[in-house]
Structure 1
């Protein structure tokens, strides 16, 4: 028993993981501490730390915004093949960074594709959007659908809403208003304001779901509060179909926590 106690006293716990400590600091808003922990990792070649530092300089989190330093760190992470680094560098090139970083949307699209092909869901979402818009790279609705589906299944709400748009407008898929409403419901339930607006519109029009003005107005009010401009054209028609009690019920539902809406 004494030998066991001696062994137990000598068994030291493993040292804390600096990356985990940094992420915990970042999540509680202590960006300066996160940067202090990431810096030695980044200088030692850790692509994840390089990407995180670059993102902080790009967004001005814990440090003054510095596109030039963001470019340096994100390029290192991207060239190491780290998907989030490629995606963060793509975002920097998409918007540009003053004199330090000239906007290069075509290069951004290429970086998003590199990250998307490695399974980065946020990059898949952005690549899907770019393929649908067709302003930077040629429009390809079928490929846009493929990437949107991958991102949506990974939990990206904006891609869920985009899937609804693709089915509603028959872009890359056959038109299916019920499938569109199903995807809008998923996007709405995950908090996407545009998805909430389109689900509300579906309930106004009875497109893919049974018309229900109270449910319609509840989703449209929630979408409007979330900043979606897509809700505005449908608010008047939804209100016009309801009496004061119906409008009050819709407002009550719109104020509930999202999980209580029954999405």
Structure 2
């Protein structure tokens, strides 16, 4: 299987899960009464966590309507996490212009996931005119902030020649980085186990392709280049 075919296969799978909300509503002990009380009092973090709980069905019966209600309250108050999650909900419903609106608001606050999601819309031309170069630039900005999905997407673009020239070496470099930073232990971003596992599987499959396609010296060089870099939030 060539890299272009492999990447196309992975992209189909990728679209099904890559833009779920990654919030963990149980980073501290979950108390529905206290959380609701804080949310109703205008605490944006509580509103977001309550939205996340309803979104994932954690500690409460799952309700998309209630999730959207609380996400929107926090999003309209300028909370970037909620803006990204609200955008994700709209994207899942294929309401791409609304998704773009909220992703853009979060991206202006340097939210790495929202920046990557915005890049995805440009990359595929969802709700906006397709502009792969713009998508690449946004993926790069997101990757530099530590978002592994964007690292993987950059690898796909470079390795399959979506920007005009096929660069397998650079594609492999970015995929190695994606595999490394898909492990939440290597990032300060919120983690979602299902998401991490699927991204790792995709990145691992592509890295194995790189190992089998590049010469040993080429792969070692790609690995060295990949590991000499770290996102901007990582302390050396």
Task: Tell me whether 1:49 sits opposite 2:40 in the alignment.
Answer: no
Equivalent residue for 1:79, pick from 76, 79, 95: 76
**Is 1:166 matched up with 2:157?**
yes
- SS of 2:70's partner is helix
Indicate yes or no: 2:111 matched with 1:111. Answer: no
Q: Is the 8 A contact 2:25 2:50 kept in 1?
A: no
Q: Tell me the distance in 2 between the aligned counterparts of 1:89 and 1:111.
A: 7
Distance 1:83 1:173, change over 3 A: farther
Alpha carbons of 1:158 and 1:178: their partners in 2 closer, same or farther (altered >3 Å)?
Answer: same
Q: Does 1:201 align with 2:192?
A: no
Distance 1:61 1:78 in 2: 21
Give, in whole Å, the separation in 2 of the partners of 1:211 and 1:75: 46
Check the 8 A contact 1:41/1:49 in 2, yes or no.
yes
Give the aligned partner of residue 149 of structure 1: 140
Normalization by structure 2: what TM-score? 0.67
| CA distances 1:79-132 after superposition (whole Å, capped 9, x unpaired) | 111111111111222224xxxxxx623201221121112111111122222221
The answer to which of 156-165 and 183-192 deviates more is: 183-192
Q: Which of the two has higher C-alpha Rg?
A: 1
Question: Where does 1:110-259 land on structure 2 (aligned, <5 Å)?
Answer: 110-172=101-163, 175-191=166-182, 192-206=200-214, 210=218
Identify if the C-alpha distance between structure 1 residues 173 and 116 changes in structure 2 by more than 3 Å, giving closer, same or farther.
Answer: farther
Alpha-carbon deviation of 1:52? 1.4
Once residues 138 and 208 of structure 1 are traced to their aligned partners in structure 2, the CA distance between those partners, rounded to angstroms, is 41
Q: How far does residue 40 in structure 1 lie from its aligned partner after superposition? A: 2.5
Relative CO higher for 1 or 2, CA cutoff 8 Å, sep ≥ 6? 2
1:18 maps to none
**Structure 1 unmatched ranges of 5 or more:** 1-22, 97-102, 213-263
User: Retained in 2: the 8 A contact 1:166–1:173?
Assistant: no
Quick check: 1:54–1:69 contact (8 Å CA) kept in 2?
yes
CA–CA distance in structure 2, aligned partners of residues 60 and 175 of structure 1: 43
> TM-score, normalised on structure 1?
0.61
Query: Structure 1 residues 146, 209: closer, same or farther in 2, change over 3 A?
Result: farther
CA contact (8 A) 2:115 2:139 kept: yes
1:90 pairs with 2:87? yes
Q: Structure 2 regions of 5+ residues with no counterpart?
A: 1-22, 183-199, 221-236
1:65 and 1:135 map into 2 onto residues whose CA distance is: 28
Conserved? CA contact 2:122–2:130, under 8 Å: yes
Check the 8 A contact 1:203/1:209 in 2, yes or no.
Answer: no
Say whether the 8 Å CA contact 2:158–2:168 is kept in structure 1.
yes
Change over 3 Å in CA distance of 1:177–1:131 after alignment to 2: same
Q: Give the drift of 1:36.
A: 3.3
Matched position secondary structure for 2:218:
coil
Q: Retained in 2: the 8 A contact 1:181–1:209?
A: no
